[in-house]
């Protein structure tokens, strides 16, 4: 009898252990793909007609397109927003962090990688960091990432991985001299991480491609796909096709590893495109707070969890992924710094309204130029002292501009004089969001103007 009881107890223990392991494995793997300088309409899923993006388009089609996904006007601020869930007004990262700059994402910020690692995730970044490297404490391995591969700044040569004859290519912070097209190398590393991941632990894999950012470089096989295009537009098209192929390889690797069904894939640009990228029908380009600078092509895909063939029109911001992913992973926000992001999972999966009453955008020079979106209305304001800045970047803005994005997504009709009460209401909310804005972390005027 005692043997039977022992066997039953052993069996019960094994079943409970197995159930515990299974419950643990229900934490989703997270693959976050960030494409650099992608135009809002460069991909087919968002209306593009010139460039072949079948892999990206299939993922978007079988997931949910995020039609009103906001980011920051340039690289570093968007990445800081993603990894902290906080606006630039609270991190001080308004500007591009340049090579040699003695600043970066503040060390008191908890990163998404920190938070996921604390609840059992394996964490890795393969691609562009762009959040500081002048001290080891600012580099990815000290900011929650177990593995780092790629470059710390932008505008590297795609083949030599250098900038101004200075190598910018690392593995876990150690300089790495290797040959190859960077898009392909980043992809190979991502696939290797997936293939060698511990299957008993969830994976957070952050893939910030340097494609399709300048310089415009791509193997000739890709440009041959676009004989109808010329110059840098042809090269950009080839670069995006290379990224598209790369994403297909990553998804295939997830399939082969048996991880696809439990993997959430998020895709976004880091900002709007500069020329020759295509932001149609949005106004203007990268580095502005017009829609062409801050609305990014994006989608989310997770089989069985995100309804396929859907388009989410409710507005969100890249800061929202911080609380959303931590909540999905079963974690809790446990930090001293307040979070600006909101959990958008009910919005994406249950057709709920946006959790935001207002979404903030600020220029690369801090809150001198600010924009706020409330429902389908958008207000752009220049600060009182902005008249001192007589530059082309500032001259394109009116001092007060109000747009109805539902009727006028291209921001062609300034309705500020027609709806002064709405301007007053939105200005009040904007002032509330800016009241505790911190100064820029940039150390000198040259960096401030990046």
Residues annotated catalytic, as ranges: 75, 130
Residue 251's CB is within 10 A of a number of other CB atoms, namely 21
Q: Where are the beta strands (DSSP E) in 15-146?
A: 29-35, 64-66, 69-70, 122-128
d(CA 109, CA 93): 12
Local structure of 85: helix, strand or coil: coil
Ramachandran area for residue 347 (φ above 0: left; ψ -120 to 50: alpha; else beta): alpha
Contact (CB, 8 A) for 375 and 407: no
Nearest to residue 229, comparing CAs of 215, 239, 243? 239
Contact (CB, 8 A) for 315 and 359: yes
d(CA 40, CA 273): 7
Q: What separation in angstroms does the CA of 284 have from each of 2, 27, 193, 275? A: 78, 40, 38, 9
Nearest to residue 128, comparing CAs of 51, 189, 45? 189
d(CA 330, CA 394): 44
Nearest to residue 33, comparing CAs of 354, 265, 324? 265
Contact (CB, 8 A) for 88 and 72: yes
Q: What separation in angstroms does the CA of 255 have from each of 122, 132, 279, 303, 437? A: 19, 34, 32, 12, 44
> Which DSSP string do the residues of 286-307 spell out, in sequence order?
TTSSSHHHHB--EEEE-TTTS-
- The backbone torsions φ and ψ at residue 96, rounded to the nearest 5 degrees and listed phi first, read -70, 130
d(CA 185, CA 178): 9
d(CA 99, CA 162): 11
């Amino acid at each position: 009898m005692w043997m039977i009881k022992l066997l039953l107890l052993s069996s019960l223990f094994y079943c409970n252990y197995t159930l515990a392991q299974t419950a643990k494995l229900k934490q989703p793997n997270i693959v976050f793909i960030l494409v650099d300088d992608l135009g809002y309409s460069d991909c087919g899923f968002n209306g593009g007609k010139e460039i072949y993006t079948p892999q990206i388009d299939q993922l978007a089609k079988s997931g949910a397109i995020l039609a009103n996904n906001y980011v920051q006007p340039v690289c570093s601020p968007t990445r800081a927003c993603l990894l902290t869930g906080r606006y630039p007004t609270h991190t001080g990262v308004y500007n591009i962090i340049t090579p040699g700059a003695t600043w970066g994402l503040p060390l008191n910020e908890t990163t998404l990688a920190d938070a996921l690692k604390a609840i059992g995730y394996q964490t890795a970044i393969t691609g562009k960091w762009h959040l500081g490297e002048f001290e080891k404490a600012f580099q990815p391995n000290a900011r929650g990432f177990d593995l780092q591969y790629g470059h710390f700044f932008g505008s590297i040569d795609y083949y030599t991985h250098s900038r101004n004859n200075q190598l910018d290519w690392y593995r876990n912070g150690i300089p790495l001299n290797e040959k190859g097209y960077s898009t392909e190398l980043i992809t190979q590393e991502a696939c290797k991480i997936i293939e060698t991941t511990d299957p008993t632990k969830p994976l957070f894999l952050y893939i910030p491609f340097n494609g399709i950012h300048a310089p415009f470089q791509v193997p000739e096989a890709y440009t041959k796909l676009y004989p109808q295009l010329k110059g840098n537009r042809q090269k950009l098209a080839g670069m995006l096709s290379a990224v598209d192929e790369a994403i297909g390889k990553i998804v295939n690797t997830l399939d082969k590893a048996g991880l696809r069904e439990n993997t959430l894939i998020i895709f976004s640009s880091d900002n709007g495109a500069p020329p020759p990228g295509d932001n149609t029908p949005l106004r203007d380009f990268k580095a502005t707070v017009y829609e062409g600078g801050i609305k990014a092509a994006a989608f989310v895909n997770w089989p069985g969890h995100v309804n396929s063939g859907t388009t989410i029109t409710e507005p969100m911001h890249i800061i929202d992924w911080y609380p959303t992913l931590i909540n999905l992973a079963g974690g809790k926000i446990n930090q001293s710094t307040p979070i600006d992001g909101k959990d958008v999972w009910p919005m994406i999966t249950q057709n709920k309204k946006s959790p935001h009453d207002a979404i903030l955008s600020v220029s690369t020079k801090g809150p001198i130029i600010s924009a706020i979106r409330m429902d389908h209305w958008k207000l752009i304001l220049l600060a009182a002292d902005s008249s001192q800045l007589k530059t082309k970047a500032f001259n394109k803005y009116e001092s007060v501009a109000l747009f109805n994005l539902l009727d006028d997504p291209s921001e062609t009709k300034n309705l500020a004089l027609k709806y002064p009460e709405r301007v007053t209401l939105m200005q009040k909310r904007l002032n509330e969001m800016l009241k505790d804005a911190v100064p820029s972390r940039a150390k000198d005027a040259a960096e401030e103007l990046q």
